[in-house]
A and B are shown apart, each in its own frame.
Chain A
Amino acid sequence: MPPVRRSLLFTPANVRRFVEGVWRHGADVVVLDLEDSVAPGEKAAAREGVREAIALVGRGGSEAALRVNADAVAADCEAGVWPGLCAIVLPKAESAEQVRELDTLLSRLEAARSMAGGGVEIMPMIESAAGVRSAYEIASASARVRSFGVLGEADLTADLGIVFDDLHETDVLGYARGEVGLVARALGLTVNGRVWTPGRSTIADYGDAEALDRSMQASWEGGCRSTFCVHPAQVAAANRGLRPSESDVAMCAEAVRAYTEAHRQGLAYGVRQGVIIDAATARSALAAIGYAMECATKDAVKLLRRREMERAQEAANADSTGDAETP
């Protein structure tokens, strides 16, 4: 069962206010960003804060990941690979070599910093035509690539000479999305990213709540398990949509029951509402039920951690108020 990582919320690693407050948003993963959210002149300073930031962003039960700069992978990893980090997001992935080099670097850092070997995942982002063309090689270059499919939509449209806003009307990235998703499936990786839906629901558009929910729903049905977010509204929609709903779980349970009963009677498959439930379908249904339980557990853990944090902060506030009143 893959870990539950429905929402991957970008947070600029150099903005202390964001790093300290991001635990409130309930993201499954907080991605500390050293790339596009950080101005070139602030990269060095941002690196210095990453180690502490990993602990800060995880206070609400989120995992921490780090997006590095494609042209400064070594420096970024040196600064950011510390216990508590779950993944490196590798932007502009275009070759297997990039992934292999990162793999070697991570192995060295893990060994040096008392981290479990192979624990840090690599999440390559496909953001160029060259990346799409080499998708299979990139995704199969390292065992650390455990989820795949994310398109850097803005950069990819730019590389392909497509107008980004056309995504509101047409799936202009359909080929890239299909090919990358297919590679992820073929290699048995968890599929990241989103299925295209019409409307303002791209990574940059989060004002239309309905479109956002529709996008998450379609993405779930299309097999996607996680998506990048740049706003808390997207986090809530992803956590809500990228998981089996209650009715899904009920249907799955019914399907498992239909198959089990049929199997017990010596039949090859069960039938539910006229539809064949064979062993493969029953297995998928069981997996969906299992994943729903994982999601519920993850949400419960995050809720508890957030409440703890809130209580601690309330106590701290009360203390500071009391201290102020005492004199």
Chain B
Amino acid sequence: MDSGDTTRTSGSDGLNTLDVIRIRRDFPILGTMCRGKSLVYLDNAATTQKPRQVVDAITRFYYSQNANVRRSVHYLGEQATEAHENARETLRRFLGAPRACEIIFTRGATEGINLVAQTFGRQRIDPGDEVIVSEMEHHSNLVPWQRLCKEREATLHVLPLTDNGALELDALAGLLNERTRLLAVTHVSNVLGTVNPVARIVEIAHDAGVPVLVDGAQSAPHFPVDVEALGCDFFVCSGHKMFGPTGIGVLYGREALLDAMPPHESGGEMVLTVTLEGATYDALPHKFEAGTPNIAGALGLAAAVKYLETVGMDRIARYERELLASAVSALRNMAGVTVFGAADERAGSVSFAVEGVHAHDVAQVLDGEGIAVRGGDQCAQPLMRRLGVSAMARASFAFYNTSEEVYSLERGIRKVREVFG
């Protein structure tokens, strides 16, 4: 962290109350009063709030560093280019990628997945080939593969869920065969909070010679991610879900795979030589970053990642695990409340239903108490169908949430029951 009011943390335990009080000071929005009530922000899986350090980094860029990158030889051009490449290096370190050229800046996880589908997918998937996704995917890791398979006349297979809301890992081997070209799976369910055993999944897929794309939108904000340890071939995440700005995200891909893939968009920035007849493309990572990139976004994301590193991802993970476990157990113990999913390992989110009350009404009554949760299909309609509902309410946590806020949620749900009693 690089501003005056830094959060010093020590030890290997989770965060303590004092740490969290200090952390909350870095997030001015958490002091918002909503309709006369203190904000209780539990919609972090939709988007997270931003610390001052992120906003400061963006402001600093526009006030003192703004120039286009990799074009202009002047002072500011040099400053901006260096800052942008430093941001890439920060993300490489955060995700444990071996090389900075394997870090592609995108608009977010959705663009990262679409990029892989439109380049790797179109190049490698022929009629009769197969792609595997899971039944718990967010629409963003499902619809691009549906479109691709339709276009390429390939088949999309679905790895099913257990009744606990975990992946049916035993079914995976049966889905893999010599026509399988890719397995795309989420690291953490945005609905159930289930943490999938991605390293094991990768192992099984690789044994069958199948590369794996991991949707890390809901994992990178909550616990340490090491793409090398996971062994995955692609990993995507979204800046705005990890305390950075909107409109920026990262695609990690193995260098050999990225090198062999055709460019996604074309134009300036991604070319070496251009004639009226054709062009040759720049090396990684620039081949995939056509046009002027979201420089301020990349710097903001790097500031967010540095903030997380300063607090410590291990400590964040330990603190959040306890907080989420207390929320899950509190909800489970409430009369008329059903918690979805019972996977052994969870992160970030818990989805629930209040008996006889539509999720949208639950969210609306909670809003009246200053509590922000999501109510709806959570962008995972096939999962809703699997669970036999059309919508559910979701409380999703970040390391700035407190156990008092879990109590507030409990009180809010009691209020829901009163209103619709």
A binds B: no
A residues lining the B interface (CB < 8 Å): none
B residues lining the A interface (CB < 8 Å): none
